[in-house]
Amino acid sequence: MFIFFSSYALAVWFGAKMIMEKGYNGGTVINVIIAMLTASMSLGQASPSMSAFAAGQAAAFKMFQTIERKPKIDAYDPNGKILEDIRGEIELREVHFRYPARPDEVIFNGFSLHIPSGTTAALVGQSGSGKSTVISLVERFYDPHAGEVLIDGINLKEFQLRWIRRKIGLVSQEPVLFASSIKDNIAYGKEGAKIEEIRIATELANAAKFIDKLPQGLDTMVGEHGTQLSGGQKQRIAIARAILKDPRILLLDEATSALDAESERVVQEALDRIMVSRTTVVVAHRLSTVRNADMIAVIQRGKMVEKGRHSELLSDREGAYSQLIRLQEINKETKETVDLSKSELSAESFRQSSQKRSLGKSTSRGSSEGNSSNSFGLPTRVKVADTDPESSHAEEKSREVPLWRLASLNKPEIPVLLIGCAVAVANGVILPIFGLLVSSIIKTFYEPFDELKRDSKFWAIMFMILGLASFIIIPARAYFFSVAGCKLIQRIRHMCFEKVVNMEVGWFDKPENSSGAVGARLSAEAASVRALVGDALGLLIGNLATALAGLIIAFTASWELALIILVLIPLLGLNGYVEMKFMTGFSADAKMMYEEASHVANDAVGSIRTIASFCAEDKVMELYRKKCEGPMKTGIRQGLISGSGFGVSLFLMFCVYATTFYAGARLVEAGKINFGDVFKVFFALTMTSLALSQSSSFSPDSSKAKSATASIFGIIDKKSKIDPSDESGTTLDSVKGEIELRHVSFKYPSRPDIQIFRDFNLTIHSGKTVALVGESGSGKSTVIALLQRFYDPDSGEITLDGIEIKHLQLKWLRHQMGLVSQEPVLFNETIRANIAYGKRGDATEAEIIAAAEMANAHRFISGLQQGYDTVVGERGIQLSGGQKQRVAIARAIIKSPKILLLDEATSALDAESERVVQDALDKVMVDRTTVVVAHRLSTIKNADVIVVVKNGVIVEKGRHKTLINIKDGFYASLVQLHTSDATV
């Protein structure tokens, strides 16, 4: 603005000089100045569009990077062998493989498997052992790093990819259906499939009966991801789709594991029909699915440990397959009620998912999506309830927050805001004064030479002063309101964060309170709140000053003309507003219109395995192209509308100008006003309307700010159900460590339909070690969560030394307990600070070293270059697993806890690290009440009591020696399976 006004000062001075010396007239000079004014404003309006070029370049770079990337496995490569047909013999020979997304995790290291043509091979074993990877390699979703995958003795890489994929049919656990009709979904199996072929496929897949019952039959829309159909119906459509291409090789990846018993029976019948005379590879856990296979291969940790028919493998009572079968049978027997058998979402898998949700670990395997698995190879199905994460968040956001509450938070900054308001007033009068100066110079150019010389210098100086004022006022306004705004943001963030860290753990389990969502509220939403206080206030004061100054100047010059223009001002205001809106463009609308096309793209990328296996790339691209046509036509139409709108707004502007000058000329003719006053009124009011309309289009998005404010205050006003900052509650002088859980019933708050404990009873005596064992999801880790009061039980009570823990002061209670979990969380601080954290940061050097020595950590810490001052990195990334775990143990014992809680403390470690960490744990467990959750035998066999938990109920209890001798007992089977696992 300083340069803008200074250029006017120069123009006025030089224009007057040209009139006096070169004989120019006033009209010519005014033409030049107005042309310059218009040109400079146009350039100013064009400048925001320059950023679009930079954004476009950045986007184009990414797009061209993707376009030019040559895929390693290219479905469009026409090269490769095409045979008349294949027999379907499959062989994996010395295969070495790691997923590209997890290069440090070896899946196969010299894996070999041979499946003769026309036979059925079943792959069984723990989750993560590599079963589904076999299917991914046969489909050539990935290539092995070394070794070969052969079909009929020919390396898979030598075939034309699209041709060989057409010979392979894939049915996976979570069938991917596209948001189209049943007929279209089945037709993905074969290009140009006739309706008769589709009908035959549905009959073979046991799907014809239920499809015929639907009102629209094959034309029924399945909804997004097939949501309109049940699991069994979706699975049968996926089977029909696979049958349609008449594959020589059939790959069934957990095809029935996500179904209930009745659906499983129907789907299994369909599978049995189509498996005849085809080479079939079945990945399954359920006995019913695998017992009739020609060959069963037991895979553990990427190696085949057993192979044979069902009857042969069962004859070896100590074999891995027998243990899996026995455990599965025990599983069935212990399902006490229908409700319990249905509630298969586990406490532990849920706990782990809530812990890991924010870590965003990518999984490269399709089948791992739907199954959480225990450590011994049995699946624990995760049935996620249909909750709408938006609904509760939307409820929270819909609350209106009164403006005075926000203003009261800004109270300490009132002096700064008052100065800001004064500066905003000065900023508001700049443009009306500019209008006054422009009108004055027009009059000056028609004065006699001596007056012209004097006045032109005076007005040039005025322009310079206005420029200097702008140079100081505009940054000052921004500064004062920024100070007030940033202090408000800081205060809100602090209040919000304080509230968040004191929330009960159950609050974080809700999807809308995930670490990402809370982080967004603390960063983005807290910043949006500022718009309602500082920015809105500055804008309001500035606009009032602009309006007032413009009206005063206009009415002083000529009240009659001012009134005429005032009537027309809304048209000018509308013009300025529309103009600025068009300048900012229609990008938001364009984004909305492309959502449908994006939906197709998202579906395609999310279901890329299904698309690749059915060679449906062309089909999806055609669908995407069609979806893009609509937005393109709408875009062209919108361009015409926006162009017309811009034209109309300019037409209105010139109409207002014409009316003003016509009325002004009439008033001059009548002798009521002079020539200079017409321009004074005209420029004062037009500049005012321009300032108001442009600033209103730049005004902060108040609706966004209001919803952000409601969201922020939703957190601030929320009362934590289990509040660590609450100082009430009793404390005990000495703690023995006697723990009892009496008649405890519990469900996780975010999964209220799934019962974890029903009438659970457990006594843990002072100074004793109790080990909790059982499959994943049985409720072991929930015991630890309840003891720490992360959650409160729905009924029943938990006592410490005979006093219910709800009556104890929460901070004191947690200080009596030391927790060491499977994935120790270290903060991005020094080792010293991380250990001192256990004692709220006020531990002495001697205490830190003593705790480190007890945790077997002192030696390795001393060996580091900076010793205890070594920064561990984010989440302790600079340390190995064993080192992190030992630092976590030191942190837990520095506060001398009477109760030690060990949740899978060594399960994520290698043998050597485990030995060192176990030594440290054995040291610190002496004379403390210890609760151990573990799978590994070495961790639990010396416990005073071993408690076997199944489906939230204690099924066995006793010492290791007693339990191991119970024939076909649950604990004995777990140990046996663990032993066979360890021999791999």
The reply to whether 543 and 431 lie within a common domain is yes
Q: Is residue 883 part of a domain?
A: no
Q: Is residue 915 part of a domain?
A: no
The reply to whether 27 and 102 lie within a common domain is no
The reply to whether 579 and 544 lie within a common domain is no
The reply to whether 583 and 534 lie within a common domain is no
Q: Is residue 908 part of a domain?
A: no
- What pLDDT, in 10s, does the model give residues 945-958? 998 888 788 888 88
> How do strand 279-283 and strand 249-253 relate by DSSP bridges?
parallel
Cα–chain-centroid distance for residue 188? Answer: 31
Q: How far is CA 829 from CA 554, 837, 852, 880, in A?
A: 65, 10, 16, 16
Res. 679: pLDDT tops 60 = yes
Strand partners, 380: 372
Q: How many helices (H) and strands (E) does the chain have?
A: 40, 22
- The pLDDT, as a whole number, for residue 493 is 85
C-alpha–C-alpha distance, residues 808 and 732, integer Å: 8
The reply to whether 603 and 717 lie within a common domain is no
The reply to whether 642 and 525 lie within a common domain is no
Q: Is residue 897 part of a domain?
A: no
The reply to whether 769 and 756 lie within a common domain is yes
- What pLDDT, in 10s, does the model give residues 616-661? 777 788 878 887 887 787 778 777 777 777 787 778 878 888 888 8
C-alpha–C-alpha distance, residues 557 and 561, integer Å: 9
Q: Is residue 393 part of a domain?
A: no
C-alpha–C-alpha distance, residues 935 and 975, integer Å: 9
Q: Is the pTM of this model over 0.85?
A: no
The reply to whether 761 and 798 lie within a common domain is yes
C-alpha–C-alpha distance, residues 601 and 618, integer Å: 13
- The pLDDT, as a whole number, for residue 698 is 52
Q: Is 155 helix (H, G, I), strand (E, B) or coil?
A: strand
Nearest CA-CA partner of 611 in 627, 594, 624, 596: 624
C-alpha–C-alpha distance, residues 147 and 95, integer Å: 4
Strand partners, 150: 91, 155
**Domain range holding 181?**
170-246
Lowest-confidence segment of 151-165, 231-245, 400-414, 690-704 by average pLDDT: 690-704
Alpha helices in 749-895 (DSSP H): 780-787, 810-815, 831-836, 845-854, 858-863, 881-893
User: CATH no. for residue 161?
Assistant: 3.40.50.300
3-class secondary structure for 81-127? ECCCCCCCCEEEEEEEEECCCCCCCEEEEEEEEEECCCCEEEEEECC
C-alpha–C-alpha distance, residues 561 and 681, integer Å: 7
Q: Is residue 137 part of a domain?
A: yes
The set of residues, in sequence order, having a beta carbon less than 8 Å from that of 501 and lying 6+ positions away, is none
Q: Is residue 872 part of a domain?
A: no
- The pLDDT, as a whole number, for residue 331 is 47
Total domains in the fold of the chain: 5
- The pLDDT, as a whole number, for residue 380 is 33
The reply to whether 507 and 589 lie within a common domain is no
The reply to whether 19 and 156 lie within a common domain is no
- The pLDDT, as a whole number, for residue 749 is 80
The reply to whether 408 and 542 lie within a common domain is yes
Q: Is residue 870 part of a domain?
A: no
Average of per-residue pLDDT across 892-912: 75
Nearest CA-CA partner of 342 in 283, 261, 265: 261
Domain boundary among 654, 689, 721: 721
The reply to whether 282 and 299 lie within a common domain is yes
Decide which of 517 and 764 is more confident: 764
Q: Using CA atoms in the order 240, 245, 248, 249, what is the torsion angle rounded to 10 degrees?
A: -60
Which residue matches tokens 């070690």? 769
Q: Is 54 exposed, middle or buried (0-12, 13-18, 19+ CB in 10 A)?
A: exposed
Q: Is 353 helix (H, G, I), strand (E, B) or coil?
A: helix
- What pLDDT, in 10s, does the model give residues 413-426? 888 888 988 998 99
